[in-house]
Amino acid sequence: MGGPTIALVTGANKGIGYEIAAGLGALGWRIGVGARDRQRRDTAVAKLRAAGTDAFGVPLDVADDASVAAAAELVAEHAGGLDVLVNNAAITGGMPQTPSRVDPATVRVVVETNVIGVIRVTNAMLPMLRGSASPRVVNMSSSVGSLALQTTPDIDMGPVPAAYLASKTFLNAVTVQYAKELGDAGILVNSGCPGFTATDLNGFQGVRTPQQGAAIAIHLATLPDDGPTGGFFDDAGTVPW
Ligand SMILES: NC(=O)c1ccc[n+]([C@@H]2O[C@H](COP(=O)([O-])OP(=O)(O)OC[C@H]3O[C@@H](n4cnc5c(N)ncnc54)[C@H](OP(=O)(O)O)[C@@H]3O)[C@@H](O)[C@H]2O)c1
């Protein structure tokens, strides 16, 4: 005990995930850089280390059982535990995704990554999180997954990406259920929305920088022990479900 806080960020090789890793690293935390591609992972780890972050690479494909199991073993061996898990990795599955035309195979792969991937990684890391003094799980969601916003007539949320949107709604439900189950264990589990951020995910159409997009995850990763759990937040506060 008494060592640095240890965090694992999935999809940390680029975009918002990279900036979450950098932001938590700047707090003096040891950061596991979860990424599936070896070269992209090594490049991100080298960049983080050059900036002073105590980063280590974690080979991780969130859609693959064996990869996730191996990642948990690596974190246990390399860091000896885990305090904070940021489930950031996600895909859109490509656009357009109008509900009447979306390929079921697209829905399947998006849910496999964005929802089942989160469950797979969280459950693999839970034994370590249970051993932490201040465990946190942050699920990177999106306001497009908010059914309340989607059904508010005056709010135009743009084209309807059926697979991606529903995956984030599903993820939010998963967040709530984990929070209920893990509350007694003191594990705070929340969903965060980064806002419309310029990354590969949207062809860099977003208006926020990845650093700005990372801020909500950093906030939720550093909540005090009496902080909220089972909530959905962005930089402005609570996002309606
Ligand atoms: N950008 C936005 O405007 C926006 C808005 C709302 C919510 N979000 C959410 O914010 C999070 C980060 O998005 P981003 O904009 O930073 O996207 P991004 O730049 O496309 O990055 C996505 C990351 O996820 C990784 N990833 C995808 N599938 C994976 C898998 N099976 N296993 C491991 N890693 C995988 C990617 O790795 P590779 O490099 O190997 O592909 C990449 O590192 C996502 O959850 C996204 O839904 C983003």
Question: Is the Cα dihedral 20, 25, 28, 31 positive or negative?
Answer: positive
CB of 16 sitting under 6 A from ligand 1: yes
Strand order of the sheet with strand 232-234?
54-59, 30-35, 6-10, 84-87, 136-140, 188-192, 232-234, 237-238
CA of 16 to the centre of ligand 1 (A): 7
Show the tokens assigned to 204. 């860099």
What mean pLDDT, rounded, does the chain reach?
A: 96
- Which pLDDT value is given to residue 156? 81
Residue 160's pLDDT is 74
Confidence at residue 155, expressed as pLDDT on a 0 to 100 scale: 87
- Predicted pLDDT of residue 74: 98
Low-confidence ranges of the chain (pLDDT < 50): 1
C-alpha of residue 152 to centroid of ligand 1, in Å: 27
- From the candidates 18, 29, 56, 164, which is the catalytic residue? 164
Residue 164 among the catalytic residues: yes
Judge if the beta carbon of residue 113 lies within 6 A of ligand 1: yes
CATH, domain 6-238, list 3.40.50.720, 3.40.50.1700, 1.10.10.10, 3.90.45.10: 3.40.50.720
With 0.85 as the threshold, say if the pTM is over it.
yes
Q: Count Cα atoms within 13 angstroms, Cβ side, for 227.
A: 19
Say yes or no: CB of residue 208 within 6 Å of ligand 1. no
For residue 1, report the distance from its CA to the centre of ligand 1, in Å.
Answer: 32
pLDDT number for residue 187: 98
**Contact predicate 192/9, CB 8 Å:** no
Q: What is the pLDDT of residue 3?
A: 87
The domain spans of the chain are: 6-238
For the Cβ of 79 lying below 6 angstroms from any atom of ligand 1, the answer is no
